[in-house]
Amino acid sequence: MAAHRLLPSWRHARRQAPRAGAASAGVLLLLFGGLGLFRPVGFFDTDGATVAGLGTNGALSLLSLCAGLLLLLGAALGGTFVSTLDLVLGTAFLVSGFVNLALLDTRLNVLAFRPSNVLAGFGLGVVLVLCGLSGRERHGPRDRHPL
């Protein structure tokens, strides 16, 4: 018997990356959102409170809880749903990072973002996009379009 048949396939590990990424990001967001809700700060307070070195207020805490629950739901469901969810939410985190970077130190910073929040959003977005892409498999011949 060939040894490669006894070892787990690299494809199996690659299929689990979207679930692992979604679950770990979901747990982090649930922790951040849960800790943020226990801080006595206004819902749209632009100064916000500090949780784990990140700025937060009621709105960002609630948004983090919803995103965390959605990611955990996706990790539980698996399949192509979780890889698509990772791609969509990862892209949303990246876009949110750029938008909130432009809104730092303005009155429009309603989520109480700080530079550390922007960096965390970029990092989480990149991880989610990479996990979502690793769950995608290519089907069919390579030369579909000969031109």
Give the model's pLDDT for residue 14: 58
Q: What is the pTM of this model?
A: 0.82
Q: Which residue carries 């983090």 as its tokens? A: 64
Query: Is the Cα dihedral 127, 133, 136, 142 positive or negative?
Result: negative
Give the model's pLDDT for residue 18: 86
Instruction: Indicate the average pLDDT of the chain.
Output: 85
Which tens digit of pLDDT belongs to each residue from 83-142? 999 999 999 999 999 999 999 989 999 998 999 999 999 999 999 999 998 877 665 555
Which tens digit of pLDDT belongs to each residue from 56-79? 998 999 999 999 999 999 999 988
Chain centroid to CA 90 = 5
Which tens digit of pLDDT belongs to each residue from 33-45? 999 988 888 888 8
Q: Where are the beta strands (DSSP E) in the chain?
A: 49-51, 54-56
**7-16: long-range contacts, CB 8 A cutoff, minimum separation 24:** 11/137, 14/134, 14/135, 15/135
- From CA 42, how far away is CA 142, in angstroms rounded? 55
